[in-house]
Amino acid sequence: MYEAMLSENNIRLNACFTSKDEAIRACGELLLKTGYIEPGYVDAMVQRDSISTTYVGNGVAVPHGTEAAKPLVKKTGLAIIQVPGGVDFGKGRIAKLLIAVAAQGNEHIDLLTNIAQICIDDAKLNKMLKAQSTKEIMDVIRTMEKQ
């Protein structure tokens, strides 16, 4: 399932950002570069976080676009950015892992459920935070498919 939604080209390690907007835009650029979204979706991702934070806890943020931007999604996809130094999503919420979602229809519900499983599994989350290669991130994601 994830092979069609996430490739090593959609993963960036050891990133550093000065703001959450910069971090969210970087997520959107990965989705755009790999053909999952139209350019306007990136702005919708920033807008969505300004409406309600996309920080979900445990050092993880899940940037995604607004409902109105769904037509800008070409196909369902993910992008993952590891931010070892963290990026402030406001009120002291520091995200060290960004899992961006672009989904058509209701496909995002299953995706978000699986992302939540990563967030509450400290061992998997730590593997992703400490990964030294995109392959290591993909290996953790693949374990989600087997559950």
* Active site members: 64
For CA atoms 8, 19, 44, 108, give the dihedral sign. Answer: positive
For CA atoms 70, 72, 74, 80, give the dihedral sign. Answer: negative
Cα 108 to Cα 113: distance, rounded to the nearest angstrom: 8
Assign 120 to helix, strand or coil: helix
Cα 147 to chain centroid distance, Å, stands at: 20
C-beta separation of 103 from 76 below 8 A: yes
